[in-house]
Chains A and B, each alone.
Chain A
Amino acid sequence: MSGRSVATDADNAETHDVTVTVNGTPYRRKVEARLLLSDFLRHDLTLAGTHVGCEHGACGACTVIFDGAAVRSCLMFAAQADGHAVMTVEGLAPDREHLHPLQEAMRECHGLQCGYCTPGILMTMKAFLDETPQPDEAQIREALSGNLCRCTGYQHIIEAMALAAERLRK
């Protein structure tokens, strides 16, 4: 086939430059096009708090906040994050000594058992409560319905979210 695209060589290069802000810190890396955002966060940036459960967008364990919205990081490529801002579970707590109210509430209500789905749930809930600060139980369950948990049966998570919502409002 003749006449390669009008795209520059840079576009067809094997690696792509990514400048992405994660938890407020800018990172510059070169990535292969197919590198999933989830793998990039976990292994290139060693922010291993984001977990991988399915790689087809069904379980929600890999949920991060991308430009303010909760998304499945297993369904995005690292290259897409160039110029964007990501928040992961490592960015929730204000510092090493303290926890975010969401994290505190989860601990108080026993909202985690094995903890593997927990980071994804925290990010989903952070984004949700930012937008819906006074949810009722039905709304919480619906917001949670895109995150699978196999350990808790969800009940304590819902209690934690209600408690966190109350505290965040104060």
Chain B
Amino acid sequence: MHRTTSVIGLVVAALGGWGAALAAKPPSGDLVVFEAASLKEAFAALAVRFEKDHPGAHVVTNTAGSQELRAQIEHGAIADVFASADQRHMSALATEGLVVGPALFACNEPVVVVRSGLAGSLKTFADLPRAERIVVGAPEVPIGAYTLQIFQKAGARYGADFTTRLQAKVVSRELNVRQVLAKVVLGEADAGIVYRSDALAAKGKGKETIAVVPIPPDLNVTAAYPIAALKAAPRPELARAFVDLVRSPAGATVLREAGFVPCPAP
């Protein structure tokens, strides 16, 4: 009985110690970057470069939808850098005084992705109603809002009937852009609308499972990506250095390779 008690005591003590270790701050070299889902691959490449330039520094990323990251920051999450896929969320944090000096660093444009078997019959945006199942983003998330705008512009150009036919083929409104992409890559959906960077990321995985169909520029919209250091950043110097790297010509090259485009002059 006494042995049992002491074993339980040991376990409790061990758990307590482990919990305390987990609760402690991350090592001093860690730079915490909150990044929008579409930035995952590009920022992974930039993080490698950053760690090489700053010996001892270690980049820890938290990848999620911009709105989720914003909510986490508003509820007190500790981070150094925030990169958003949507200016709305960055502006909100700036108004609340949680970030310093947000700046645009890249732009992204929506494209149509088509599952491989259909690449022959679905070659231009005007062919899109031929798809049997189209998957788009929910209107509540940025890619879904952009898709709605594109469909509306297309209606103005090809006739309102075009939009109606498109909407009739929509079988799902996904909650983030990677879920739209996944449905097309898996072949469940015939076509979807995602960012060019996401399409490239999927193609970069080796398998030619999808084809990319550009959207005519006059129908398309541009998603602008702002980045900022957090006001409460535990490592402000590293945070600023990371933001500088992302906005540098070297950063622009990495982002361009990942499918991002320079932002059009305002």
A binds B: no
**Chain B residues in contact with chain A, CB under 8 A?**
none
**Chain A residues in contact with chain B, CB under 8 A?**
none
